[in-house]
């Protein structure tokens, strides 16, 4: 889609990291920006930074896991800018752990934010985008963790795989309304997502925990959010669906697809399935 001075973008998790970088990249193309986040101080600083770049911006406190707050944020966006075109469902948290030791309240926490938060954005904003007939675009932030899994981060993988699948289902459904869908799947980016685990309901590990320090080191070596945002906006303009950021991860996707193909081939050798297919 074309991004210009008539474009209005709503961005969750918009006060920092990829969300703020998206706001800057979209704003520099002329878009008006509504930031949504949980931290008022960071929101104020983010709006000031955007305004300093001559970007028209506003902000609203919002917990994406809370439907009422998301509806209020949508209403605030319409009240301020009159309409909305781009919705970046970007807010997210991280959670790992050992199976059998992860509290269900922590599971609900990550699912409510990483998955239901995206669903809130889509369900609430789709009618608003459709209402003006000018088209629009959803950017749903998933992760490379939504394409391949490793030990120790099962809850995070579960939510990110879900966002990828959800987005794949949305794309053909929203095309008739001229609403595009992209699913952003970065690997390591210099953000504070690893710190979100410190806020899980049952309490997080301390910053001195070896696992936390290891993750902080990996995250610290990641991509600049501004580069990820610039590429993301280019992909939105080109109506690209999957937005990847790390070409070196392609081999892992190939390995996963090879395993899937091998197991499909194996099922074809099961006699009962052969009979079913023959009939």
**Choice among 156, 166, 242, 264 that is catalytic:** 156
Three-state SS at 279? coil
Helix axes 67-81, 117-132, angle to 10 degrees: 30
Question: How would you class 141 by CB atoms within 10 Å of its CB: exposed for 0-12, middle for 13-18, buried for 19 or more?
Answer: buried
For residue 217, give both structure tokens.
């080191």
CA distance 56 to 49: 11
How many CB atoms are closer than 10 A to CB 254? Answer: 10
Using an 8 Å Cβ cutoff, are 70 and 120 in contact? yes
Q: Which long-range contacts (CB under 8 A, 24 or more apart) does 52-55 make?
A: 53/24, 53/27, 53/28, 55/23, 55/24, 55/27, 55/28, 55/31
CA distance 202 to 135: 42
Catalytic residue check, 166: no
The residues that are catalytic are 156
């Amino acid at each position: 889609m074309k991004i210009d001075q008539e474009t209005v973008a709503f961005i969750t998790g918009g006060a920092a990291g990829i969300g703020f970088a998206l706001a800057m990249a979209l704003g520099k193309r002329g878009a008006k920006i509504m930031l949504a986040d949980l931290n008022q101080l960071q929101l104020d600083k983010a709006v000031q930074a955007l305004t300093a770049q001559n970007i028209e911006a506003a902000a609203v406190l919002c917990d994406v896991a809370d439907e009422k707050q998301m509806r209020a944020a949508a209403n605030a966006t319409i009240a301020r800018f009159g309409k909305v075109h781009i919705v970046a469902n970007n807010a997210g948290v991280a959670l790992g752990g050992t199976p059998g030791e992860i509290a269900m309240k922590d599971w609900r926490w990550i699912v409510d934010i990483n998955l239901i938060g995206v669903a809130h954005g889509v369900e609430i904003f789709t009618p608003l985008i459709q209402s003006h007939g000018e088209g629009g675009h959803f950017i749903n932030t998933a992760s490379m963790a939504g394409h391949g899994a490793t030990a120790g981060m099962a809850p995070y993988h579960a939510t990110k795989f879900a966002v990828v699948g959800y987005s794949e289902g949305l794309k053909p459904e929203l095309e008739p309304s001229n609403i595009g869908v992209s699913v952003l799947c970065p690997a390591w980016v210099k953000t504070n997502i690893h710190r979100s685990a410190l806020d899980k309901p049952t309490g997080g590990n301390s910053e001195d925990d070896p696992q936390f320090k290891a993750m902080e080191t990996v995250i610290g070596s990641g991509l600049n959010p501004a580069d990820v945002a610039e590429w993301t906006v280019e992909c939105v303009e080109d109506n690209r669906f999957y937005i990847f950021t790390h070409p070196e991860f392609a081999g892992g996707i190939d390995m996963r697809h090879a395993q899937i193909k091998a197991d499909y081939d194996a099922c074809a050798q099961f006699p009962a399935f052969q009979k079913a297919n023959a009939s």
